[in-house]
A and B are shown apart, each in its own frame.
Chain A
């Protein structure tokens, strides 16, 4: 790839804390290499802001290789920016041209309150997992790993669902701020494996109940979540969750 340099205009959401109203600030950024990652471009801007005596932009990030799920920027109206199946930390500046204006916002959802600038609180996802996103097996209880064969197709489908990184892009993209793709990925991962069988029904019911309690919206099948998911989690998982939920509800006499 030929490397090139560019000057850009950034419009970034700034919000001092959760109580602050917040608003957009405009920043020119110069001499950005096409080989930089998007976050490295923000690093460059932040270094300049610090030198100028201003407050740098707060944003979540950690692994910078697309797997930890921490980075979360809503760029020009799309979570994680323009590339398919991508996190913002893996977005590189060759996606942009000299003179472009880029608008950067935090995830927007009632269940993800803004902490500062582009940083939001996603602890609701942890609480949904606490409601049942696990298999109850204490350490030391396990039988030999090959004692229970698992059909390859099902193991592969479970793996595909389990590749969710919990970033919350699905929620940010959804007009209803629904978390159903996230919840269904976990329910599917565990329902597809024989080890997850015993808790299948309570898991689906409890995780959905917690999701509702956290204030996420309903799913209206627009598919926006799947379109922006960095790990290409399929909305087939939502269909599976619906089946699991119905069956569990019908069977539940509790």
Chain B
């Protein structure tokens, strides 16, 4: 039933063969075909631009006031590409292999290899668009290394890589708007998919300025709506990031793949109190130059700079000498939790570890710069001064951001960091063509499940978003639309549009008419607490079962005691949030069920029942080398379908970063 449509042939020829044989749509027919794109982050904006350039009629939607606000903008560290500009042994194969291994053997080989292949085109395209990547003095592009790999393949623009890439895609999108190929709808939120004869044929969305519902037809619908990390309430996602579009598609028949695969990022600014509305990431690239440590003594209350070198436990370097501070994110996060749970945490809450730049600032950068200037036997003060200048250029904006939030200067005092929810590898199930199991409904970028397995490597999210949008969908969508050229646009007076809009309207009315006592925010916080405690960094069967019943109870309470102020036909952010939280509650239940059904540890999914003697995650390939694709059957009722994963080239081994 689940056909992943991976092309036959050897791994390295699959994509080339596919492109050589997929159906094409001639330019005259492209102008008659309409495509709806929901979400305009890296995946959505790049898809809208690329499809507009090809001549399709595109309508793009975002809930923010401009496509330039999408949360891709907050990605900091960089974007991977197998360019091997550094001559350090990188290749398409190595990027493929690292990604499959980093994903703990729960991703599809065919998809990942394609991703590695097109990675090189992305960098070319972005540079041509004017993305100002970091450069060397010779004028060529610079690279940095990133967690989980041993080569320097990450392209970056200081700590603002996501911003620069998104602005590049946004500008390409706005160019197509100017040319009349794309029609842009800002401050619009998709609230349902319209199905005609078992194909996705349009959407119902709400204009967030005046509250009116709108109908839009498309020969195909693309969801590029990002991840669902906000199910945990506190995450590094933007406040508006949500699962609603993907969830509506799920309820219309699209399978949800690996919902429990969540990435907890090791380096975030710790929670300071109950008022906290979101968490801020400190780029993983900081682990290149920062050393992570806790005091060797439990409950040590001394200031970090007063703790001498020999009384510090650089636990990542101790446990994983080969990769040290550059182990993958899931490994680094669990190691931090382990130290804090054992009583070695620092800061007021004791839920934090130090990320310390002093050593590399002095020894790596300070000494190199002194050497360049010909300063012999430089004193410490000179080294610190010179080192600071380099660190400022590499990470200046991140250091400033840290200081604004915490009031502490990370050039002087080590940063305090703790893991936080950052990315969701799970998402709508898609085949090789990025189509969900619903015909004509595609899903791109973080919103789909496909390329990162159970753990995403750093600097791979930007790569996947742009790969899907610029270089995959322009080919694969033609293979579907070639058979749709005779389909005339369906008028939005069609009964399918009528009925879907009515269902959306009824739900909004129901939400508004609860007129209870508790705010949306308070429900969201409670959901987040359940998810973080019982479906977070470590999970076990009893906890997950408790979480499921707690979430079901919370859902009842939500639908009987919610209070939404204001009215429907106006700008009403509380109503917008209420719809999203209602969907998060349902998703939370499915995530727990998925985590419960997967009784193995893999990547970001750590089941306490499945670990090695040293406390490392233990996979169970015999029973669980599959994608869990969940079909919605009714309230609190899902059916599990399994897509078995075959590894022909990257043979699964127990990951070791020691």
Contact = CB atoms under 8 A, between A and B. Distances in A.
Interface string B227-245: 0000000001011100000
Contact of B66 (A83, A125, A196): A125
- Chain A, interface SS category: loop
A139 B49 contact: yes
Interface in B146-195: 157-158, 160, 162-164, 167, 170-172, 174-175, 177-178, 184, 186
B359 interface: no
B275 A159 contact: no
A195 B127 contact: yes
Nearest to B47: A139
Contacts of B423: none
Contacts of B209: 115
A139 B54 CA distance: 9
B50 interface: yes
A48 B653 CA distance: 54
B238 A1 contact: no
Most buried by B among A65, A123, A145: A145
B66 A123 contact: yes
Interface string A56-99: 10101111111111100000000000010110001110100000
A65 B127 contact: no
A252 to B, nearest CB: 19
A92 B127 contact: no
B175 A70 contact: no
Contacts of B611: none
A40 B63 CA distance: 21
Given A135-B130, A145-B127, A195-B130, A130 B273 contact: no
Most buried by A among B138, B172, B277: B277
A119 B571 contact: yes
B171 A133 contact: yes
Contacts of B46: 139
Contact of B74 (A68, A134, A142, A143): A68
B310 to A, nearest CB: 29
Interface string B56-75: 00000000111111110110
A43 B125 contact: no
B175 A142 contact: no
Nearest to A144: B124
Contacts of B471: 139-140
A44 to B, nearest CB: 7
Contacts of A131: 178
Interface string B80-120: 00010100000000000000000000000000000000000
Contact of A142 (B49, B70, B124, B163): B124
B401 A134 contact: no
A220 interface: no
Contact of B71 (A17, A68, A150, A156): A68
Given A58-B571, A138-B53, A142-B121, A90 B404 contact: yes
A55 interface: yes
Nearest to B571: A116
A55 to B, nearest CB: 5
Contacts of A122: 65-66
Contacts of B158: 159
A116 B140 contact: no
Contacts of B177: 126, 130
A155 B132 CA distance: 6
B1 interface: no
B550 interface: no
A168 to B, nearest CB: 10
A85 B400 contact: yes
B171 A58 contact: no
B470 A139 contact: yes
B586 interface: no
Contacts of B49: 139
A237 B282 CA distance: 30
Given A50-B563, A70-B64, A152 B171 contact: no
A47 interface: yes
A125 B571 CA distance: 21
A254 interface: no
A12 interface: no
B14 interface: no
A135 B128 contact: yes
B186 A123 contact: yes
B66 A146 contact: no
A151 B278 CA distance: 39
Given A43-B521, A56-B574, A159-B158, A126 B240 contact: no
A39 interface: yes
A64 B277 CA distance: 9
A151 B140 CA distance: 8
B184 A126 contact: yes
Interface in A103-162: 115-116, 119, 121-123, 125-126, 129-131, 133-146, 148-152, 155-156, 158-159, 162
Contacts of B74: 63, 65, 67-68
A140 B53 CA distance: 11
A30 B277 CA distance: 18
A213 to B, nearest CB: 14
Assign chain A's interface to a size class. 35 or more
A145 B124 contact: yes
B636 interface: no
Nearest to B164: A162
Interface string A167-203: 0000000000000000000000110010110000000
Contacts of B563: 50-51
A212 to B, nearest CB: 17
Nearest to B393: A156
A165 B49 CA distance: 21
A59 B66 CA distance: 15
Interface stretch (B332-340, B405-413, B617-625): B405-413
A247 B633 CA distance: 65
Contacts of B574: 50, 56
B438 to A, nearest CB: 26
B174 A126 contact: yes
Nearest to B572: A58
B565 interface: yes
Nearest to A191: B130
A159 B158 CA distance: 9
B474 interface: yes
A83 B401 CA distance: 12
Nearest to A143: B124
Contacts of B474: 139
A92 B407 CA distance: 9
Contacts of B73: 63, 67-68
Contacts of B273: 33, 35-36
A152 B137 CA distance: 5
Given A68-B71, A166-B68, A146 B521 contact: no
A9 interface: no
Contacts of A17: 570-571
Contacts of B517: 51
Interface of A: 1, 16-17, 33, 35-37, 39-40, 43-44, 47, 49-51, 53-56, 58, 60-70, 83, 85-86, 90-92, 94, 115-116, 119, 121-123, 125-126, 129-131, 133-146, 148-152, 155-156, 158-159, 162-163, 165-166, 189-190, 193, 195-196
22 contacts: A16-B570, A37-B277, A37-B405, A47-B521, A54-B565, A56-B565, A61-B239, A62-B64, A62-B239, A64-B278, A68-B69, A83-B404, A123-B65, A126-B66, A130-B178, A135-B128, A135-B171, A142-B128, A144-B124, A145-B124, A148-B127, A151-B139
Given A65-B236, A122-B66, 4 more contacts: A36-B275, A61-B239, A63-B238, A155-B133
Report the 9 A-B pairs with minimum CB-CB distance, sorted nearest first.
Answer: A149-B139, A1-B407, A134-B171, A142-B128, A142-B124, A159-B132, A130-B178, A145-B127, A62-B238
